[in-house]
């Protein structure tokens, strides 16, 4: 299970059996690159899974773009 961490540029991987954070993924570089285009853009705040296409997408508050990402196991 993955979730974005409130008001940060991190996505955490949560072990569903224990509820503990198993990994932390830092998307600060991507957030900074997007924010350099528009200073009004805020932190990462969206993650979605498309089960039909088996794809994961992320975006942020007021981001003009949506990014497809892949997690390696």
Domain assignment of residue 6, given as a range: 2-69
Bridge partner list, 12: 3, 24
**Cβ atoms within 10 Å, residue 9:** 20
Instruction: State pLDDT tens for residues 4-43.
Output: 888 889 999 999 999 999 999 999 999 999 989 888 888 8
pLDDT of res. 29: 93
Tell me how far apart the alpha carbons of residues 14 and 34 are, in angstroms, rounded to a whole number: 26
Length of the chain, please? 73
With contact defined as beta carbons under 8 Å apart, do 31 and 60 qualify?
A: yes
Model pTM? Answer: 0.79
Q: How many domains does the chain have?
A: 1
């Amino acid at each position: 299970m993955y979730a974005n961490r409130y008001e940060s540029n991190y996505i955490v991987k949560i072990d569903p059996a224990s509820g503990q954070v198993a990994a932390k993924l830092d998307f600060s570089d991507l957030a900074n690159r997007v924010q350099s285009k528009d200073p009004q853009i805020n932190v990462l705040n969206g993650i979605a899974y498309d089960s039909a296409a088996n794809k994961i997408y992320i975006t942020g508050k007021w981001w003009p773009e949506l990014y497809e990402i892949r997690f390696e196991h």
